[in-house]
Amino acid sequence: MSAFVNPLAPRRPRAAEAVARIREWLRGRLALADGTVIVVNEVACAEPGCPDLETVIGLLSSSAASRTFKISKPIAAVTTADLERMVNGEAAA
Amino acid sequence: MIWPLRKARTQDRASAESASEPAAIPVFLLTGFLGAGKTTLLNRILADPRFADSAVVINEFGAVSVDHDLVRAGPAQVTVTSSGCLCCTVSSDLRGALFALQEERAKGLGTAFARVIVETTGLADPAPVVAGLIPGTLPAFGLRDHVVARRFRLARVIAAFDCEHGAGPLEHHFECWKQLAFADDIVLTKGDRAPAAPWKAEIAALNPSARLHESMAPDFDLAALLEASSYDAATKPEDVAGWLALEALAQKAPSAAPLPGPSSAPITAAVAMAGPSASRHGGIATLSLIQDGPVDRTAFSTFLQMLAAAPRGSGELLRVKGLVAYRDAPDRPEIIHMVQHALCPARPLDGWPSDDRRSRLVVIGRDLREEPLRKLFDVTRR
């Protein structure tokens, strides 16, 4: 991959970059059925003890059951380690 | 593509094409982050005789009403103020407001209107609001929601974007990006203070389907924003359809199985933000500062300057707005605006816009320290 960064290219919000990164990682890591849509959302949690912002990831499919995951941090702070734990947690469930 | 949306669009078209039904009233959603210029844009629309037959739903996020008094609706224009944030209470609040308008119309009460303009709060997540206005996307609760689905249709989503202060919200607030992504039209505002041109490529990259307008451009025509159409999520960036589907999933499966992953919380916790009672705006709060009478001009000016100069460590200031009268001119209040830490010139009014003659400010921010702000504001009454 080229290390060149075009300084004139349009910037994207940090969250948009993170969403693209999460989506790309999940596509590569999971064998998703055709037509599965990966949705990444950031929401506030009103429950005591929860962080202010959480990431909700949905794997939505018209041919299989849709699944939803939660990571207790903002989208921009989600790491590949978080995603790996999320995937492993699902496998263990 | 996600099936619930396709189904919803089909139902929408079918209902619109039904000859036996009166034409659905178009609803225009006016969104944009805190201080982006939504109310200014709305006031331009309402001042235009071509749109005098507009009903307006104004949404307030705060304990004290301010926005209602900042909108200059004409005597013939119907105005409804909804309380609470639309994205947190969409099922009950917006549908309730539209139903009330429809009831008035059906009974021949009030003024006839040809369209409804809904101004959201700057913190509103557009996903639940839009989902609530596309028939079939969210569950309908009772006759009220069915009537709203038949009598109203979402026409366009219009987002205002602040060319001067937009970088921070776009970078740090997810809602800002979502507001732009859902939009049919994006109006670049405050072009007199910061050039709009550098933003065009960035905005277009986020939402290639949106039409860009410059509010200060001589050829900017409000009619383009309010033209007859039906909102179509399929033409928006792919995230939009996904966010809407996630809203539908959240509303339809409130008691699903526990979530897998690093958190063991049940799915209701993850999606509760779509419910009617929870807040989507963790960490962001509003603080209402009220004086029953006029304030001291010098002390209030000092208060604003200190607010503008407050260091980051005292919380993230996002927006200040309000109406304030001074002791030397108690019948001529001024509209106060501050976007982030930038104080806008005050706009004096010829008189109070309503019976509420209290000097009042709404301060919106993240992790604000309430007590020092209150003490600082209290000085203005001396």
Tokens of A66: 């849709």
Would A8 be classed as within a structural domain?
no
Kindly write down the DSSP assignment for every residue of B60-110, as one continuous string.
E-SSS--HHHHS---TTSEEEEEES-HHHHHHHHHHHHHHHHHHHHHTT-S
For B251, phi and psi rounded to 5 degrees? -75, -30
Separation between Cα atoms, residue B40 and residue B30, nearest integer Å: 11
- pLDDT per position as a tens digit, B75-102: 555 566 655 555 555 555 788 888 888 8
How many CB atoms sit inside 10 A of residue B200's CB? 16
**Most confident of the following: A29-33, A87-91, B323-327:** B323-327
Separation between Cα atoms, residue B200 and residue B295, nearest integer Å: 42
Whether residue B277 has pLDDT greater than 60? no
Q: What is the pLDDT of residue B380?
A: 78
Separation between Cα atoms, residue B109 and residue B67, nearest integer Å: 25
- Judged by a CB distance cut-off of 8 A, whether residue B212 touches chain A is no
User: Which residues on chain B are in Cβ contact (under 8 Å) with A77?
Assistant: none
Would A1 be classed as within a structural domain?
no
What's the complex ipTM?
0.79
Q: What is the pLDDT of residue B351?
A: 87
- Judged by a CB distance cut-off of 8 A, whether residue B198 touches chain A is no
Average pLDDT score over residue span A77-89: 91
Query: Is A57 in contact with A69 (CB distance < 8 Å)?
Result: yes
C-alpha closest to that of B129 among B15, B266, B10, B27: B27
Whether residue B59 has pLDDT greater than 80? no
Query: Is B66 in contact with B323 (CB distance < 8 Å)?
Result: yes
Query: How confident is the prediction for chain A on average, in pLDDT?
Result: 80
Q: What is the pLDDT of residue B313?
A: 59
Query: Is B231 in contact with B154 (CB distance < 8 Å)?
Result: yes
What confidence tier does B41 reach under pLDDT thresholds 50, 70, 90?
very high
C-alpha closest to that of A56 among A33, A31, A24, A22: A22
Q: What percent of chain B has pLDDT over 70?
A: 76
For chain B, how are helix, strand and coil distributed in percent, rounded to 5? 40, 25, 35
Average pLDDT score over residue span A18-42: 90
How many CB atoms sit inside 10 A of residue B16's CB? 12
- Judged by a CB distance cut-off of 8 A, whether residue A7 touches chain B is no
What confidence tier does B215 reach under pLDDT thresholds 50, 70, 90?
very high
User: Which residues on chain A are in Cβ contact (under 8 Å) with B242?
Assistant: 37-40, 58, 60
Mutate to test the interface with A, among B33, B174, B277 (most CBs of A within 10 A): B174
- Judged by a CB distance cut-off of 8 A, whether residue B360 touches chain A is no
Query: Poorest-confidence range of A87-91, B211-215, B235-239?
Result: A87-91
Closest in A11, A19, A37 to B202, CB measured: A11
| pTM listed for this prediction | 0.77
Separation between Cα atoms, residue B227 and residue B32, nearest integer Å: 19
- pLDDT per position as a tens digit, B194-210: 999 989 999 999 999 99
Whether residue B276 has pLDDT greater than 50? no
Query: Is B325 in contact with B357 (CB distance < 8 Å)?
Result: yes
15-34 in chain A: CB under 8 A from chain B: 15-16, 19
Find the radius of gyration of the CA atoms of chain A: 15
Average pLDDT score over residue span B325-330: 92
How many CB atoms sit inside 10 A of residue A10's CB? 14
Q: What is the pLDDT of residue B42?
A: 94
Whether residue B272 has pLDDT greater than 50? no
What confidence tier does B190 reach under pLDDT thresholds 50, 70, 90?
very high
Closest in B206, B262, B280 to A86, CB measured: B262
Q: What is the pLDDT of residue B266?
A: 25
How many CB atoms sit inside 10 A of residue B228's CB? 10
What confidence tier does B8 reach under pLDDT thresholds 50, 70, 90?
very low
Q: What is the pLDDT of residue B4?
A: 40
Whether residue B230 has pLDDT greater than 70? yes
Average pLDDT score over residue span B183-190: 97
Separation between Cα atoms, residue B230 and residue B206, nearest integer Å: 21
Separation between Cα atoms, residue B91 and residue B132, nearest integer Å: 6
Considering only residues A64 and B229, tell me which one the structure prediction assigns the higher pLDDT: B229
Q: What is the pLDDT of residue B177?
A: 93
Considering only residues B264 and B342, tell me which one the structure prediction assigns the higher pLDDT: B342
Strand segments, DSSP code E, in chain A are: 37-44, 53-60, 67-71
Average pLDDT score over residue span B259-265: 34
Q: What is the pLDDT of residue B5?
A: 42
Tokens of B162: 């602040």
Residue type at B258?
P
Q: What is the pLDDT of residue B65?
A: 63
What confidence tier does B17 reach under pLDDT thresholds 50, 70, 90?
very low
Contact partners, residue B174, CB within 8 Å, separation at least 6: A15, A42, A53, A74, A75
User: Which residues on chain A are in Cβ contact (under 8 Å) with B256?
Assistant: 68
Residue type at A86?
M
Query: Is B55 in contact with B117 (CB distance < 8 Å)?
Result: yes
Average pLDDT score over residue span B324-336: 91
Separation between Cα atoms, residue B69 and residue B218, nearest integer Å: 28
Q: Is the CATH code 3.30.70.20 the one for domain B284-381?
A: no
Query: Poorest-confidence range of A28-37, B132-141, B227-236?
Result: B132-141
Cβ separation of B246 and A60 shorter than 8 Å? Answer: yes
User: Which residues on chain B are in Cβ contact (under 8 Å) with A92?
Assistant: 260
Give the SS3 label for residue B202: helix
Architecture of the domain spanning B3-248: 3-Layer(aba) Sandwich (3.40)
> Could you tell me the residue range of the domain that residue A74 belongs to?
14-92
Whether residue B335 has pLDDT greater than 90? no
Cβ separation of A37 and B238 shorter than 8 Å? Answer: yes
User: Which residues on chain A are in Cβ contact (under 8 Å) with B243?
Assistant: 39, 41
Cβ separation of A68 and B243 shorter than 8 Å? Answer: no
Angle, alpha carbons B6-B7-B9 (nearest 5°): 65
Whether residue B372 has pLDDT greater than 80? yes
Domains identified in chain A, total number: 1
Residue type at B340?
Q
- pLDDT per position as a tens digit, B157-177: 999 999 999 888 898 889 999
Tokens 């109203």: give the residue: B152
Cβ separation of B202 and A54 shorter than 8 Å? Answer: no
The residues facing B347 across adjacent strands are B335
Burial of residue B167, with CB atoms counted within 10 A of its CB: 0-12 exposed, 13-18 middle, 19 or more buried: middle
Considering only residues B306 and B86, tell me which one the structure prediction assigns the higher pLDDT: B306
Mutate to test the interface with A, among B88, B206, B246 (most CBs of A within 10 A): B246
- Judged by a CB distance cut-off of 8 A, whether residue A63 touches chain B is no
Query: How confident is the prediction for chain B on average, in pLDDT?
Result: 79
Average pLDDT score over residue span A28-57: 82
